Structure 1
């Protein structure tokens, strides 16, 4: 099957990044969100990213205009009726994702593949909400999507070989390096990354070091480009907590227990960069 029209559900940080790389690879993109304000904000982010590339001489103005011309914005999920392949990039909440997949299953043509950018929720659980589990797959992009090369491809227990091969090829078409991960909570990336971030929060919680000291140790001692607490702020503390909850519930292992300080920050609305305050303050 050839993918011509690519749907993206969610125009936030991940969604607009996925829409951008899809459009840059030559695909016609339908980027959907629940409010016009959200899709316009996402579209403007893409425009700014591309304009930066033009300023740096990495693409021409004509190429930028062509990419933007391939992106159509949408606030109605029924617009996905034209999509050959859809990636859901909504908030990391099981019930929200289940509802989206149930609706997409009824809206999208029978040949369409339904992928999820979930960070941790098992693919089989999501696929079970549809009548096409063989066409449901995980396609987990890294943040920021236009910069990061990795895409985790996660097969559910019912995912067909055809769906897997198509998703792999599509990742390569977008200039990404795909890696196969098995369908366990957190997959590969977040099963390793999130417990590290959670342990950094425990270090802060227990007073082992200040936020700056903890991040400096990981940057200078482990050569990480960003400290774990600053990275948590970039990801979103609510997303970090949701992933830790999925790991904790999925494995019933105390090593995945979310730090109480992480939960306290989320309950206070301190979610990181997107709210102006997390472990650090942002103007």
Structure 2
């Protein structure tokens, strides 16, 4: 595949096909959750055979359909490509899945690397999420995005919300659950958000939090301590839906380090400022 084709229907179709294949595996296992073999990677960080089988299905499809693109996946690692890399989370919301809470998703993103030539934008000045696919199998909602083109939910164009005041906004977040070293930075921001917004929600899937910000269900979102595969597809979605999605510390071209905030363009600056004062 030529570099200029990274923003293509072929890449999008490969990601969508892979997401559906993984979701089918997850939903089959969901019917027999008690029989799942679950391993503990570290405190509050679980992996099941459902994660591993879904990831293998995704990798098989992507490596066959797009052999020149690198793949980095949550459970099996992988290797960055020279021009572009898939970032794969086969099951975002594992704790929800294992508890029978129907709120989890498959997340697949294509990151174009600095210097890569992409049809439309031309040569990329910095690493850029080009394609994002997030599939929620419980609601049968497929969120998809292409850099510079747009974002969709089940084929319908989506946009970030129109809320123009943080005080009138519903904000999503994720609590520290695995790494508690930043708790002293996170908790003051949470307390301020509770007092200065319409409401704060914590649902347990960063991918869906970002997808719901892209489609306007949430006005904004922030979280710390995530991984690149948790946020990559969601970054593509929010940006393509007209929103702002950045690294909380403004050091990276996209929140690859897992500290992320996202919002519609009207409240993004206020949300960023509210969080930044506590970092």
**Normalised by the size of structure 1, how large is the TM-score?**
0.31
Q: Which one has the bigger helix percentage?
A: 1
Larger radius of gyration: 1
Return the structure number with greater strand share.
Answer: 2
| Larger RCO (alpha carbons 8 Å, 6+ apart) | 2
